[in-house]
Amino acid sequence: MDFLDSLNAEQRKAATIVDGYELMLAGAGTGKTHTLITRVAYLIANGVPAYQILLLTFTNKAAQEMRERLVSYVGADGEQVTAMTFHSFAMKMFREYQSMLSLPKYRILDDGDDDTLMRGIRKTYLDGSTLTKEQIKEFPPVGVLRRVISISKNQQVTVNAAISAMDNQVLQNYREEVLVVLLNYEAEKQRCHYVTFDDMLVKFLELLRSRPVFLESMSERYRYVMCDEYQDTNCLQEKILRLLTKKQGNLCVVGDDNQSIYKFRSADIQNILTFEERYPGCHVVSLVQNYRSTQEILDVSNAMMTHAEEGIPKQLIAQMHGDMPRLVNCADDKEAAAYLVAKVKERQQQGIALSDQSVLVRQARGSAYVEQECVRQKVPFVKYGGKRFVEQHTVRMAISYLRLALNDKDELAWRMVLQEYPGIGGRTISQILDKLVVSGVDVVLHPMKYLISIKAATALSDFANFWDEFCKQTTVAGKIRAAEAHYGNLLVRQYERTTSEKEVERIVKEKQALSGDMEILRDMAGLSRSVQDFLDNLVLDAQVEKGKKDALVISTVHSAKGLEWDVVYVLHPVKEVFSDGNPGDEQETAEERRILYVALTRAKSQMELIQASKMMLNGKVVQSHLSSFLSHRNVFQTLCVCRPFDSVSGSYGGFYG
């Protein structure tokens, strides 16, 4: 068994436990996938038929990777191991046992189908209700209703309990009505034999519980069960695992409680924290030898988790040493972005490729200034998790108005603007665009003059006032402010006119994002001498060219999980972003700590935590405070402070430590 030679002592111990329950606590970068695959190979080498091994994962990509690695370890036997996601496995069993169990032929609803079904049920109920127009607009949207159902099924609680668990006052206000809508929704699915992804697991659990012949068949067929990323399992998945393995008693779970960051998907960290209690006599093996990061980086993450109120104590140990991580304090967002991109370029010149460097943010919009600085300094980048800032709808609207200031015959800009006016449809837009070629903005200012419909003229009634105010503004920031006010009014008009629940949901989200996005955009405008200069700098495509691999990675922490880079820049590790939680909300605080932990453990050789003393947050400039999670300052290099921005030269002048 040469494949065991590549394992350290703890990995070997974890891989060679054949029978019984096993909890493999695999810290970040400790080689858990390699150990798990080796365990499968060891089982096969010791006489366990490959077809009796079930390996459950959370993504199709992970399942495919494991299948490929198994084949490279044990050859053709590896193809007989069932390596699938929970949902894929459940559907496979439904199809195979359909005849034997007299199961109906289910139709799987994807998210789009499920959304459509729920929307129709909701509309039918509201159309027949006595609720007022304003109450109907306020009624919980489809996304919230689907979330209630998901929580109920994945956490194995009643719908009533799921509503109570959600911090949503509107849900509470319409509890009785919501219960009726969801009851009708479930009845319609049952009538049509529709199942959602959540339903697949619920029905699978029901079959295990209610059909002894099915449970017996599953127990004999899969005598050895393993689950990867166990910290991400929910209550429903844990119950399935428990029933599947009850007879044979062979279950190996692999995970890291410190990387449990999917509570919003109903992941239950208690599954891994209480595993020993629920499976008495189980083997527990901790993998702490880290092969990814330097000890100096691990010192930061270790120190942060030492004072976590929940979790299984562990200290990761590295094989390598390097520079101490740096905690960099900058004056504001712009200086933080300038510093960060300057360091990225500096390291690139030192031989560290852009693709080996990553900027991690808590929320997708948190990277706006960095994205713009990358554009300014011609640093190509790719973004994981969320749209680029310039791709946000609010920003595209503002850009369209600015483009019209340069060219009032810009058809693409007009199409973007006109489609936001209630009462103007595609045909009218085409009529206006046809006449714009000759007459420009005058068509919109005086639509009746050009035989455009009365309905369109009414919709455009306030455009003249806006355009006059817009043109009066002599600065880019002023024009953005005028565009913000006008678009905000359009959103209000859309809200007042629409009866579509989907539109109400979109409008509310857009209105919430508008002020913050425009404040950032105005800030970006800074000292731009003209609209043309600003737009040239703003929309210059710094995205990596197709087929070109060397680009800086900008990612949310959640999208970065499972990935690693030589250099990681954690942007805004502050209380206001990585929330310390509200008093009494210990669960939120604990999860935010783990999210920051995941960010820190993505770095291999160098790490910088970059804080802006004043930062833009939700449309307001706020004073930031370093997260209390990072209270151990002795694990950082000396605080680095950016030199003040030079308003005369328009440069940042450099940095000092």
CA distance linking residue 414 with residue 221, whole number of Å: 63
Q: Are 288 and 316 in contact (CB under 8 A)?
A: yes
Q: At what angle do helices 111-127 and 175-192 cross, to 10 degrees?
A: 130
Q: At what angle do helices 368-376 and 501-525 cross, to 10 degrees?
A: 50
Q: Which stretches in the chain have pLDDT values below 70?
A: 1, 451, 527, 539-548, 580-584, 638-657
CA distance linking residue 432 with residue 426, whole number of Å: 10
Region of 618 please: left (phi>0), alpha (psi -120 to 50) or beta. left
Q: Which of 608, 526, 532 is nearest to 565 (CA)?
A: 608
Q: Are 524 and 350 in contact (CB under 8 A)?
A: no
CA distance linking residue 490 with residue 485, whole number of Å: 9
CB within 8 Å of 308: residues ≥ 6 apart: 258, 590, 593, 594
pTM: 0.86
CA distance linking residue 302 with residue 317, whole number of Å: 9
Give me Rg for the CA atoms of the chain: 28
The pLDDT tens digits of the residues spanning 601-630 come to: 999 999 999 999 999 887 788 999 999 898
Calculated CA dihedral for residues 283, 254, 289, 297, nearest 10 degrees: -140
Q: What is the pLDDT of residue 411?
A: 86
Q: What pairing do the DSSP bridges indicate for beta strands 21-26 and 194-195?
A: unpaired
Q: What pairing do the DSSP bridges indicate for beta strands 620-623 and 603-617?
A: antiparallel
Beta bridge partners of 25: 255, 286
Handedness of CA 357, 359, 360, 363 (dihedral sign): negative
Burial 377-389 (b: 16+ CB within 10 A, else e): eebbbbbebbebb
Q: What is the pLDDT of residue 549?
A: 75
The pLDDT tens digits of the residues spanning 253-308 come to: 999 999 999 998 899 999 999 999 999 999 999 999 999 999 999 999 999 998 88
Q: What is the pLDDT of residue 582?
A: 58
3-class secondary-structure state, position 249? coil
Q: Are 527 and 475 in contact (CB under 8 A)?
A: no
CB within 8 Å of 219: residues ≥ 6 apart: 244, 245, 246, 247, 248
3-class secondary-structure state, position 564? coil
Q: Which of 146, 137, 152 is nearest to 112 (CA)?
A: 146
Q: What is the pLDDT of residue 44?
A: 93
